[in-house]
Structure 1
């Protein structure tokens, strides 16, 4: 009894492939669509900035706020963000500066409460050493790898490009304008 080949018709295979392509496309675009539809929790335009009677105090607050990261947005300072936490942090900075604390004391208070992450420029210490030295180490490692590859390629090219004595004599004769001696006949083992 002959074995029948079980395969779908060509049209069915094409529609199945198209269906898989659509499924992968929909699943791939779902996170982007979800992110676009998500409410902007980090920015609340309804929150009005606090009105301050002392412009010098407000200038100090904003200068310090530009050095502090919004813990909600993470890519904005608390001066730029309107997230409720950023507004609260600005108000804390304002209250502490109005109470007579220095900028250093305010920063120390916020670092003690939220960690070095609240600073846009974290200090160089053991826990942040890789953060500061990482780019330099990557650059040096990449330059070392590139130098290694270039030297290796140069050595391989030099080894491949070396001419035998017969090839050099033939090249000199060709360059001199004369007839080159005939190339040595190929041996049967070199043909295979």
Structure 2
């Protein structure tokens, strides 16, 4: 009887683990040259899944990401350059699929704003430092000197 429960438990474990193993299947892409495989890995890591939140297509389980990976592999086999493949993906899915947006008339502010802000901050710091360095110490008036002397003399006598 104990053998029966062990066999049943093992069978139950096998049945429940099959769907988990099926979901984590690794896609294998065969390329003629290792350079092509490296390009494939680089491209799929640099493309964002349009359906997933901030996840590259190389690690996404989304059907859209699987189709994108397949299309990247097909374009590589056709002999397309990395730029052509990225252009194709941008034309199809929009600029969002690129983790590093391109510098053009729509993204110049995105790329230039950090440099401008650093320059403005440096200018403000330089102005404050210069102002503080060149601040003049004004002389005390006669009235202020008398008041200070009275304070020192009072403290010294106590």
How would you bin the TM-score normalised by the shorter chain? 0.5 to 0.7
- Are 1:47 and 1:84, in contact at CA under 8 Å, matched by a contact in 2? no
Residue of structure 2 aligned with 1:90, choices 48, 53, 69: 69
Asked if 1:46 corresponds to 2:37, the answer is no
- Are 2:29 and 2:73, in contact at CA under 8 Å, matched by a contact in 1? no
Specify the alignment match of 1:128 in structure 2. 107
- Are 2:47 and 2:57, in contact at CA under 8 Å, matched by a contact in 1? yes
1:169 deviates by 3.1
What SS does the aligned partner of 1:97 have? helix
Gaps of 5+ in 1: 1-44, 181-192
Residue of structure 2 aligned with 1:165, choices 142, 146, 153: 142
Residue of structure 2 aligned with 1:75, choices 44, 50, 54: 54
Q: Calculate the aligned-residue CA RMSD, in Å.
A: 3.6
In structure 2, do the counterparts of structure 1 residues 49 and 162 end up closer, same or farther at CA, with 3 Å as the change threshold? farther
1:47 deviates by 5.9
Asked if 1:101 corresponds to 2:62, the answer is no
Specify the alignment match of 1:27 in structure 2. none
What SS does the aligned partner of 1:171 have? helix
Q: TM-score, normalised by structure 1?
A: 0.52
In structure 2, do the counterparts of structure 1 residues 138 and 74 end up closer, same or farther at CA, with 3 Å as the change threshold? farther
- Are 1:68 and 1:77, in contact at CA under 8 Å, matched by a contact in 2? yes
In structure 2, do the counterparts of structure 1 residues 72 and 123 end up closer, same or farther at CA, with 3 Å as the change threshold? same
User: What whole-Å deviation, never above 9, does each CA across 1:58-88 have from its counterpart, x for those lacking one?
Assistant: 3321111112112122422212222221111
Aligned residues: 128
1:114 deviates by 1.6
Specify the alignment match of 1:41 in structure 2. none
